[in-house]
Structure 1
Amino acid sequence: MGLYHQANDFPEDNAFNGYEMLMDACKNLEPINVAVVHPCDDVSLSSALDAAEKGLIIPILVGPQARIRAVAEEHGLDLSPYKIIDVEHSHASAAKSVELIRLGAAEALMKGSLHTDELLAEVVNKATGLRTERRISHCFIMDVPTYPKPLIVTDGAVNITPNLKAKADICQNAIELAQVLRIQQPKVAVLSAVETINPEIPSTIDAAALCKMADRGQIVGGILDGPLALDNAISMEAARTKKIVSPVAGQADILLVPNLEAGNILAKQLTFLARAEAAGVIMGARVPIILTSRADTLRARLASCAVAVLLVYARRATLKSPV
């Protein structure tokens, strides 16, 4: 995708282009209604409008109308085509946006200029939120120039120190996302620092348990292996050197990290040191939640919206399928 450099700054290491793949997948799809939560700064507001101009979303701007219009006026943004729902503050923006989902007026959420925790508190509210039987989790969908296919990193933004049950949900969420991205049977590398079970390293125990859960049908749709160190997960040469025989080693589609710190650091290392691009979406709620960073460029934000579009269309197809 080339978020931080022009395409001609570096030689292309592979032919995969995640941004173009996502845009192409959405080109014949009608835009989806998205509740944009508290778009009260230039980045969040312009991102929503840019996604609308690309034909990805129909934004419903939820927040203090005076602030939204002031931002638009300051930055020369035309709000005339778009609906604004006036609420008092960011907390009310989150609550109203979730209500729009429950009423069927929108099919996805897009985080604006409010704290992630404030939005997710409304999403997971037991009485009025968008909970499912599964835990919510975040996925970075990464386009790494030195890797020949999309790479999903999870969870580097929501679950701080997930236990085994939470990791199973995180894994299932990522598998379902990968399948929407046309990876039919994604390969999941459950990461740790080593490839062998070590009782002193809890992530190796969790990795082994997750693999057995997949064997028993408690996690479905993917091929799991772990524990795997990062090099063995993404490098066939490293796996051969360590004599690791695995259907996942060297060709992972999903990197399931031990905790939020590991995932966040890994994704940002890939972005800033390996010229990767990262779309971001939260899975596990009734609808996808577009979650981006202020440091993301326009292409990353559009890619995140495109992922949400594909998820919404997949959900529609599931709801229409006969039982």
Structure 2
Amino acid sequence: MLLRFWKSNRPESAMKYKSFDELEAAVMGKARKCKVAVVEAADEHVLEAVRHAAEVGLVEPLLFGKRQEIAAKLEAVGLKGDAYPIVETGSPQESATGAGLAVKNGQADFILKGLIQTGVLLKGLFKEETGFRTGRLISHMNIVQVATYPKLLALCDAAINIAPSLEQKRDIIQNAVDALARMGIDNPKVAVLASAETVNEKMPESVDAAALKEMNKKGQITGCLLEGPISYDLAVCAESAATKGYDSPVAGDADLLVCPNIVTANVLIKCLRHTANALTAGIVVGGRVPVVLNSRAASAEDKFRTMVLAASAAG
């Protein structure tokens, strides 16, 4: 009875996808395929994932790197050496810059990291001539599917920003909210996490969370409904929020979790993945288009899922 009363007259959830399968179906229903720029594409693991994504109609690949090496790897995964367009480049950084220019010229909707160091990739992308930077901080966003939560859940930043300042957190949130909007998720419920719901000056993350909530109210963070500070259990568990009498439209129904630092976010995402059997995908946001930084150790399924996310967030 308490839970039913608590849930009444609350805004509907913004997240319309319950699973990655639903997200994939929405992406595959688009009028055209997404164009993906693969940076330093001479890698069998990457090309196997790209081949599958192309065969099912998700992407049209544009490959950057040394033509002869890429052609050999294409043949190694069962394709003709000229199966996809190849842009010949002289170095990994040139490949990255070329991919950035492809985005600028409308030839790519998202970028996929191949056999290139992440730092080199980003340095090449960020060259002034690419126009890839938007003036906002670059950040990382994960999407999680966990059986005990009724919808997909976004989380940031588990990969790029180590100990973000208040202003950097503002950018991290706005980047994620904008990416979710391109996925068709309007006005998501954002939970800025802390260990408790009270502001404590000895716990800077709680002070930042309260400040971010005020920024949202003043229109300095747009396109979302933001709550903070809020603990993880109240953000995702309606029963806990009802029991504690915590009244917020975000409580028990969060669409996006914002962690105070990279350690918290990274531990949380790995806990969900390895102890709750969650499915995850992650992309870099804040640039002109999403960037996929898959690990070479990632499974083919993981790589495909991340390309689905990138294609969705590309709009």
- Would you say the 8 A contact 2:192–2:230 is kept in 1? yes
Aligned residue in 2 for 1:118: 120
**211-220 vs 134-143, greater mean Cα deviation:** 134-143
Partner of 1:24: 25
Identity %: 39
CA-to-aligned-CA distance 1:266-310 (integer Å, 9 cap, x gap): 112211211111122222111222232334333332232223333
Give, in whole Å, the separation in 1 of the partners of 2:151 and 2:239: 17
Alignment deviations for residues 224-271 of structure 1 (CA, whole Å, 9 cap, x no partner): 111112122111222234332221121110001111222122112211
Q: Which residue of 2 aligns with 1:89?
A: 91
Gaps of 5+ in 2: 1-16
Q: Normalization by structure 1: what TM-score?
A: 0.85
Post-superposition Cα deviations, 1:96-151, rounded to whole Å, max 9, x if no partner, equal 21122223322221111222222122233345440113222111111111110010
Question: In the alignment, residue 24 of structure 1 is paired with which amino acid?
Answer: A
For residues 186-235 of structure 1, give each alpha carbon's deviation from its aligned partner in whole angstroms, at most 9, with x where no partner exists.
11010122221111211111101100000101111111111112122111
| Structure-2 separation of matches of 1:75 and 1:49 | 8
Cα displacement (A) at 1:33: 1.8
The 3 A distance-change label for structure 1 pair 192 and 295 is farther
Conservation of the 8 A alpha-carbon contact between 2:74 and 2:83: no
Query: 1:181 Cα shift?
Result: 3.1
Aligned to 1:209: 211
Q: SS at 1:82's partner residue?
A: coil
Contact kept, 8 Å, 1:111 with 1:291, in 2: the verdict is yes
Number of matched pairs:
298
Aligned to 1:109: 111
Counterpart of 1:197 (choices 196, 199, 214) is: 199
Distance 2:273 2:234 in 1: 20
1: CA distance between counterparts of 2:18 and 2:190? 21
Cα RMSD of the aligned pairs, angstroms, is 2.0
2:145/2:280 contact within 8 Å kept: yes
Equivalent residues in 2 for 1:241-320, closer than 5 Å: 241-312=243-314, 314=315
Q: Look up the match of 1:184.
A: 186
User: Hey, what's the Cα distance between the residues in 1 that align with 2:79 and 2:194?
Assistant: 46
Aligned pairs (5 A) from 1:22-101: 22-29=23-30, 30-101=32-103
For 1:138 and 1:194, the matched residues in 2 are separated by 25
Whether the 8 Å CA contact 1:213–1:219 is kept in 2: the answer is: yes
- Residue in structure 1 matched with residue 134 of structure 2 by the alignment: 132
The farther-off stretch of 244-253 and 299-308 is: 299-308
Kept after mapping to 2: 8 A contact 1:279/1:292: no
Q: Could you tell me which residue of structure 2 aligns to residue 169 of structure 1? A: 171
